[in-house]
Structure 1
Amino acid sequence: MLVVEDLYVNYKAIKALNGVSCQVQQGEIVALIGANGAGKTTILNTISGIVSASAGKIVFEGKDITEIPPHEIVKMGVCQVPEGRRVFSKMSVLENLEMGAFVRNDKKGIQEAMEHVFQLFPRLAERKKQPAKTLSGGEQQMLAMGRALMSNPRLLLLDEPSMGLAPMLVEKIFEIIQEINKAGTTIMLVEQNAHMALSIANRAYVLETGSIVLQGNAAELAANPDIRKAYLGE
C-alpha cells in the first residue's frame, strides 16, 4: 500500500533522514520506534507532504506522492493525527470533526463517518457542543483521531497518540487504534511507548539518528534483548 524508498530529508544543515526505506501492506499496523530525534515524526510528515524530501520517493497505492501537496494527499486517502493533538481549541468538538471532512462533499458519507466517530468515542458525542480547549488531554486525543477519520482515510498516520496520557487512558486509546484497524484502516504508528506499540503492531521498524537499524515482526522485535534493553527499559 505504501512504499518509502531511499528517503533523505534535510533541515538546513541537519540530516533528519538518511536513506530510509520502509513499507506498509494493506490492513497492517506498522510501528516506528526509536529515541526522540531519531526521525520518526519526519517520516510521517514527509509522507503527508508537510515536509519536502531531499531525495528518494514515496509511493501510495502505486502513485508517486513525493511532491504532491498535503491536501491532495488527504484526498487520496492518507491522513495524519499530529503529535500534540493540534485541535482547533476555540471551535466546538462538532466543528473540529466537520473540519476533518473538508476534502469531502458526500453528505451521506460525512454523516456516516460522524456516527462512526461517535460510536468509537462516545465521550465526544456527549461533549459535541463544548469548545475543544475544555476537553481533557485524553479527550483531545480522541478528537484529533476522530477528526482524521472524518476524511475517510485508507492509511492513518498516528504520531505519539499516548503522549501525556494517564496509563488507563493509554490502554483505551490503543484499544481504539485496534478497532479502527479491524474496521479496515491501515495504520502507521509512531510511538514513544515502544512496549504498547509492539504489542498491537504486525511489524515494526527501529530508527536511530535518521536511519533504520532493525526491522521485522513486532513480536520478535519485542523479544529481542537489545530492543528490550534500549526501548522497553528492561
Structure 2
Amino acid sequence: MMLEIKELCVSYGAIKALKGIDVTLTEGEIVALIGGNGAGKSTTLNTISGLLRPVSGGIRFLDDEITSVPPQEIVSRGIIHVPEGRRIFSSLTVEENLEMGAYLQRDKAAKQRDLEEVFVRFPRLKERRRQAGGTLSGGEQQMLAIARAIMAHPKLLLLDEPSMGLSPVFVEQIFDIIQSINDQGTSILLVEQNAQMALSIADRGYVLETGRIVLSGASDDLLHDPLVIKAYLGG
C-alpha cells in the first residue's frame, strides 16, 4: 500500500474538520476525493503533507508512519502538494518557478534535463519561460504549478482543485495532463469539486461530507450512484 490513512481526526479549534476517515491509495492509482465546500478535502491533503497535525489517527506512506513528520521531510520522501489557488511565485519567471520545484536536485545537468523535459510536455510554458509567473492566465498558472511539482519527481502527487476557476478548454487540458502524469507512473490523490471530470480519470473515489466519508468505490460505480448523481453531477 502506498498511502494508508486510518481513523484520521483533524480539528480547527472546536470545529471537527475530519471525523475519523479511512483512505487508501495503491501505487499507480488516481484516487479522487470529491465533496462540497467544507467537506474536509483540502484538510485531508494538508494533513498528509504535514501542514496540519491530526488530533488522532495515522498516516502511512510506503509502510512508514509519517503522521508527525515535518513538511520538508515529507517533500523529500516524494509527496508533492499542488495547493488550491496554485500558489506560484508571481514575481519570478516561469523558469525560476520551475527551478524552485527542483530545489532538492543538486545535480545541475540533471536539473537542466528535467527542465527541458517539462518544456516538451508544456510547450506553452516554454514560450513564456522568461515571463513573470503572475502575468500568465489562470490556466497557464495551473500548468506551471503542476509542472513545478513534476520537477520534484513526485512518487505521490497531491492535487487540490486543479480545475478551479478555469475555462472549459483549460479544464480539459489540465485533466489530460493529470492523466499523462499518471500514465508515466506517478500516483495521484486528486481533490476536485468537478466530480464528473475527477471520476472520469480516477480509478477509485471517496465522497466526503462534513468530515466523514459517506461513499467510496470504483469510479464507474460512483458515476452511476444515485446519491452522487443527485448531489454532484447535476442529476
Match of 2:73 in 1: 72
The equivalences for 1:37-186 within 5 A come to: 37-186=38-187
Match of 1:232 in 2: 233
Q: Distance in 1 between matches of 2:57 and 2:142?
A: 32
- TM-score, structure 2 as length reference: 0.98
User: Helix, strand or coil for the counterpart of 2:5?
Assistant: strand
Q: Which runs of 5+ in 1 are unaligned?
A: none
Amino acid aligned to 2:102: A
Amino acid aligned to 2:109: K
Q: Distance in 2 between matches of 1:117 and 1:31?
A: 25
- Quote the RMSD (CA, aligned, Å): 0.8
- 1:144-178 superposed Cα distances (whole Å, 9 cap, x missing partner): 00111111001000000000000011001000100
Match of 1:189 in 2: 190
**Does the CA contact (< 8 Å) of 1:113 and 1:152 recur in 2?**
no
**Does the CA contact (< 8 Å) of 1:17 and 1:211 recur in 2?**
yes
Match of 1:28 in 2: 29
The equivalences for 1:6-21 within 5 A come to: 6-21=7-22
User: Helix, strand or coil for the counterpart of 1:38?
Assistant: coil
**Does the CA contact (< 8 Å) of 1:6 and 1:21 recur in 2?**
yes
Percent identity between the two aligned chains: 60
Q: Distance in 2 between matches of 1:116 and 1:185?
A: 15
Q: Tell me the CA shift for residue 54 of structure 1.
A: 1.0
**Does the CA contact (< 8 Å) of 1:103 and 1:151 recur in 2?**
yes
Q: Distance in 1 between matches of 2:104 and 2:232?
A: 38
**Does the CA contact (< 8 Å) of 1:74 and 1:103 recur in 2?**
no
Query: Aligned pair count?
Result: 234
**Does the CA contact (< 8 Å) of 1:81 and 1:159 recur in 2?**
yes
User: Helix, strand or coil for the counterpart of 2:6?
Assistant: strand
User: Helix, strand or coil for the counterpart of 2:98?
Assistant: helix
User: Helix, strand or coil for the counterpart of 1:36?
Assistant: coil
Q: Tell me the CA shift for residue 66 of structure 1.
A: 0.7
Q: Distance in 2 between matches of 1:64 and 1:116?
A: 33
Moved more, 83-92 or 109-118: 109-118
Q: Distance in 2 between matches of 1:183 and 1:21?
A: 27
Amino acid aligned to 1:205: Y
User: Helix, strand or coil for the counterpart of 1:86?
Assistant: coil
User: Helix, strand or coil for the counterpart of 1:216?
Assistant: strand
Q: Tell me the CA shift for residue 102 of structure 1.
A: 1.4
